[in-house]
Structure 1
Amino acid sequence: MKLSPFSLTIAAFAAAGACASASAADPKLGIVYDAGGKFDKSFNQSAFEGASRFKKETNINFIEVQASSDTQAEQMLRGLARKNLDLIASIGFAQTQAVQKVAKEFPKVHFVLIDGVAQGANVNSVTFKEEEGSYLVGVAAAMASKSKKLGFVGGIDIPLIRAFACGYEQGAKATYPKVEVIQNMVGTTAAAWNDPAKGGELARSQFERGVDVVFAVAGGSGLGTLQTAKEKGKLGIGVDSNQNHLYPGSILTSMVKRVDNAIYDSFMQMKNGTWKAGVTAKGLKEGGVDWALDENNRKLITPEIEKRVLGARKDIIDGKVKVVDYRAANHCPV
């Protein structure tokens, strides 16, 4: 019999004893993934990898569950909190309201929210300067593009995704002022993060309009965008995790968001007794975002592209280049 996601989640709760920590003194930890699932090869998977690294180093286990909707996220969080966990990690901005509500109900449980800001004396909100990493891949895209027409496929039209798009466009236009950036969004609900067919369809439409490099910022839907880029002989740009290996020679680079480090650090801080509530913002300088260069895209990145991107990276870290955050300005300056 095939179990529903909710049934699997209940099973995970029931198995909490099997997931117990190595000793009574070890912290009890949990993760709630969003609708994309922990094997989305992107955002959630990065969180899973960070937690797994922590487990490998400390032999301290963690309970993991997946929420298929915002409403279910609240139920999952509350279920874990009732087990008196020490720290629960919530993956994704969609869980912001759920974290804020449940954290208030369980003041002795600590929460770390990735990609959103929730209020509470027992909440640490980790945000990223996506605009900075996106600026770098925008520079690379503008230099690699022959048509000087770039594409962007986002999940949902929200400020977070606009921050990616705006940083991307700023980097591209700082390199070639006349470059054109065509943007499309997959949908308006949580399903938009897990619709690779639509992600591929939007990319195909952009390619027909002359785009030859596309940046996919749509969770699981972005996998369809990258696959279509490969099929059409175009270039894709991955996001969150290093996705260069998915289609070697076809993915120009990836805008890496170190969600893995954020989870690893939070778990380790809880273990060491140094965890603190508040808001933590991670950009290039803090090692929170970057671009990816490895054996899978080495042949695509010319010495000229690498030099230009590394120069921009240094200028941002040194404060010589200020990348505008769409969320702060409420508009994109380019």
Structure 2
Amino acid sequence: MARACRYTPAEKESALRHTVKAASILSVAALALTACGGSDSGGDATSGADGGSDIKACLAYDVGGRGDQSFNDSAAKGLDQAKDELGVQIEEVEASQGENDAAREDRLNQLVDADCTNIVGVGFIYAKAIGAASKDNPDISFAIVDDASADSAGDNVAQLVFAENEGSFLVGAAAALKSKSGKVGFIGGMDVPLINKFDAGFKAGAKAVDPKIEIQTKYLAEDGSGFADPAKGKTAAEGMYDKGADVIYHAAGGSGAGVFEAAKANKKMAIGVDSDQAKTAEKDVQDVIITSMVKNVNVAVFDYIKASVDGEQMSGPQEFDLKDGGVSYTTTGGKIDDITDQLDDYKQQIIDGKITVPAK
């Protein structure tokens, strides 16, 4: 249960330390929490289903936050599951476009001061902030999604990573099998190693089906804004469709909504990412989404929290791949029912090690 607003000398010292950072904290004041505060998700989110857990699991979202119909929503699903099934307390805050590492570290420290026992940074943008906050708070368990670099490493840090290239191979194969023009496209939110994994896997899968296929590639921005700009996603997709592509796969978070709008307007096909977007996207565009590469961030987040509830603490890199269900593809809508046997054959070859999927 959350304790009352009484502080030990150590906590007072921590509060004083963060007060010194007030100037930076003001830049994210709208996200600020107090030790007795509620959750950004609405309602009373400070107690679990049975109120019996001492674990308080807290998520610091990437740009777009809960409601992005993609990456962040998948993480939120795992947090909600932990609240409902494990009885943990929860808290959540969201990133802002254009912020720096100091602002992200301040956000994590706000969660520390809110009595969080487990803190998850959703996205590689938290790498340096997680690294610093975890060193300052060795008694708190941290996790980061999509980063296994030295920046975020620590004895009290679980690095939750995925084989996105393997899942992307399968939807790349699907794109090539469904394409009538022999031209497909990939749109990434940002040109970084993580998104390069989606790109590389997609291209490998498409070329496994058709070595001569034409693949267009576009990255939307040099910062996190590329994951929260549907207008940019739409413009990029329209350009590809105009050049003959009839299937586009995006790994661009909230910007993917624009890709779907462009597919709808041009009567073309699109492939979603992270969650089953034929279910989570706006209803008027769901029919253009032939499949999605699902990255089960919810599974990783839930497993990380459950480990602490069970008295264990995850630490170090924890990879979730095709073999263990960390990534997969969806069949909602029945639009790829005619090719699932071929996709499942590719899937088994990857699992068996007969196909090695490139990561860059």
* TM-score of the two chains, using structure 1 as the length reference: 0.91
Compared with structure 1, are the counterparts of its residues 12 and 42 closer, same or farther at alpha carbon in structure 2 (3 Å cutoff)?
farther
Q: Is 1:60 equivalent to 2:94 in the alignment? A: no
Does residue 93 (structure 1) correspond to residue 112 (structure 2)? The answer is no
Deviation at 1:36, TM superposition (A): 1.7
Q: Where does structure 1 lack aligned partners over 5 or more consecutive residues?
A: 327-334
Give a deviation string over 1:273-300, Cα, whole Å, max 9, x none: 1222111111101211000112x2x0x2
CA distance in 2 between partners of 1:230 and 1:14 (Å): 46
Cα deviation 1:256-314 (Å, max 9, x = unaligned): 000011111111111111222111111101211000112x2x0x2142x1111010011
Task: List runs of 5+ in structure 2 lacking aligned partners.
Answer: 1-25
Question: Corresponding residue for 2:204?
Answer: 170
Task: Tell me the distance in 2 between the aligned counterparts of 1:11 and 1:319.
Answer: 47
Q: After TM superposition, give the deviation of residue 16 of structure 1 in Å.
A: 4.9
Structure 1 residue 109: Cα displacement: 0.6
**Distance in 2 of aligned mates of 1:13 and 1:227:** 42
Cα distance in 1 for residues equivalent to 2:193 and 2:277: 23
Query: What does the per-residue CA deviation read over 1:153-173, in whole Å, with 9 as the maximum and x for residues that have no partner?
Result: 110111111110110000000
**Which residue in 1 is equivalent to 2:297?**
259
Distance 1:194 1:248 in 2: 19
AA aligned to 1:275 is Q
Percent of aligned pairs sharing the same letter = 35
Matched with 2:350 is 316
- State the partner residue of 2:65: 37
Task: Please give the alpha-carbon distance, in whole angstroms, between the structure 2 residues aligned to 1:12 and 1:224.
Answer: 36
Deviation at 1:317, TM superposition (A): 0.9
What are the Cα deviations for residues 27-82 of structure 1, in whole angstroms up to 9, with x where unaligned? 12211001121110000011001110111112322011112134322111011123
Quote the RMSD (CA, aligned, Å). 1.8
Larger Rg: 2
Which stretch of structure 1 is more off in the superposition, 78-87 or 144-153? 78-87
Q: 1:307 to 1:23 in 2, by over 3 A?
A: closer
> Which residue is equivalent to 1:115?
146
2:165 alignment counterpart: 131
Task: Please tell me whether residue 238 in structure 1 is matched to residue 272 in structure 2.
Answer: yes
CA contact (8 A) 1:136 1:171 kept: yes
**What displacement does 1:238 show?**
0.2
Say whether the 8 Å CA contact 1:186–1:199 is kept in structure 2: yes
What are the residue-to-residue correspondences of 1:1-334 with 2, within 5 Å? 6-11=28-33, 14-16=36-38, 19-20=46-47, 23=51, 25-68=53-96, 69-71=99-101, 72-117=103-148, 118-245=152-279, 246=281, 247-294=285-332, 296=333, 298=334, 300-303=335-338, 305-326=339-360
Q: Is the 8 A contact 1:12 1:64 kept in 2?
A: no
Q: Number of residue pairs matched?
A: 319
**C-alpha contact 2:34 2:113 (8 A) present in aligned 1:** no
* CA distance in structure 2 between the partners assigned to 1:316 and 1:44 by the alignment: 27
